[in-house]
Amino acid sequence: MILLLVIIGFCVAGSLVSSPKAYFSSWWMRSIAAVLCLNLFLCSVKRLPAALANYRQAKARRAGAFGTWLCHLGMLLVVIGFAAGDFLSEEYSIYGIPGSMQPVEQTGLWVRIDDFEVQMRDDFTVEQYVADLTVTDGSGQEASGSASVNHPMNAFGYGFFQDSTGWANTIDIYKDGSLQRSDIVCVGETTCPDDRPALQILFNKFYPDFAVNETGSYYSRTPLLNEPRSLFTVYYNGEIKGMDFAAMNTAVRINEYGFVFRDPTEYTLIVIRRDPTERMVGIAALIMLAGIFLAFYWRPVYGEEGGHDDGSIAE
């Protein structure tokens, strides 16, 4: 119980830090988890003879004698499963707009985003995000399906999860009136002229229905493309030279260059995971739940009258 209280305290502290993943992977959290595993293992070993003795002495509901023991065993397996998953699980991410095809690093898989839809309610709140995907492995085999929030697509041993979304613009770069290049740029990404890499355009944020409130703050009235504007920052040699809004299909002039933002499109971020311990953790959780049920609702009956619980529990 002391160990559980200590772990709860550390978990509460971990919810307040800026990098929870690093926090929960730290050596002190792993050390506490290891001590908890040792504690649960020794408890299970110590309680097994008593559980067997109670099982033999019980006249009815004999399986209940293993309730507490199964709780400890299930908890031990859950902790071991999560710890093993820390080392054995894989996680990757890709993002793109419909029609794009992205490699999944180190897996040999390619993911094509066939379509992406944000399903809205009448009040413009999001009901669901749905990405239609086609996954191809190294041998050319394909698997197609949909990934939405809480409903991943499974293919080739991996789960494909709809994680988040954002906006992308196509940015046409002109020099002296001639088109030099076109890039699809997502929020947070940059682009630059071919012959002037020191001149960087950062796509900061997209407002589908641009408006300004009474305090001068910028916001989007609706998620619909009514008055779209893109906020961008100009960098030269790593230094900020300016920030402004760009209307769609209107050139932003910087010396001999022109930058045209157009065709706003929502992109999707897909997270790809594989955890070989997932099934083990699920079975362990079921064992723990079975132990809780036996310990509280299927307590063994001792004494002469089978089926009558006289309240006497053999120790």
pLDDT per position as a tens digit, 281-293: 999 999 999 999 9
CA distance linking residue 185 with residue 243, whole number of Å: 17
The residue that leads in pLDDT, 17 or 278, is 278
Question: Which structure tokens are listed for 149?
Answer: 């929030």
In the prediction, which pLDDT does 18 show?
75
In the prediction, which pLDDT does 86 show?
77
pLDDT of residue 310 exceeding 50:
no
pLDDT per position as a tens digit, 30-52: 888 888 888 888 888 988 999 99
Confidence of residue 311 (pLDDT cuts 50, 70, 90): very low
The residue that leads in pLDDT, 6 or 169, is 169
Task: Look up the pTM and report it.
Answer: 0.71
pLDDT per position as a tens digit, 220-260: 999 999 999 999 999 999 999 999 999 999 999 999 999 99
| DSSP structural state of residue 103 | E
Average predicted confidence (pLDDT) for the chain: 90
pLDDT per position as a tens digit, 59-84: 999 999 999 999 989 989 988 888 88
Question: Which structure tokens are listed for 31?
Answer: 């050390």
Percentage with pLDDT > 90 across the chain: 67
pLDDT of residue 203 exceeding 90:
yes
pLDDT per position as a tens digit, 102-121: 999 889 999 999 999 999 88
Question: Which structure tokens are listed for 298?
Answer: 């299927």
pLDDT per position as a tens digit, 119-175: 988 888 889 999 999 999 989 999 999 999 999 999 999 999 999 999 999 999 999
Strands (E), the chain: 90-96, 101-104, 109-120, 126-136, 142-148, 153-155, 158-175, 178-186, 190-191, 199-207, 210-212, 218-220, 229-236, 239-247, 251-254, 257-274
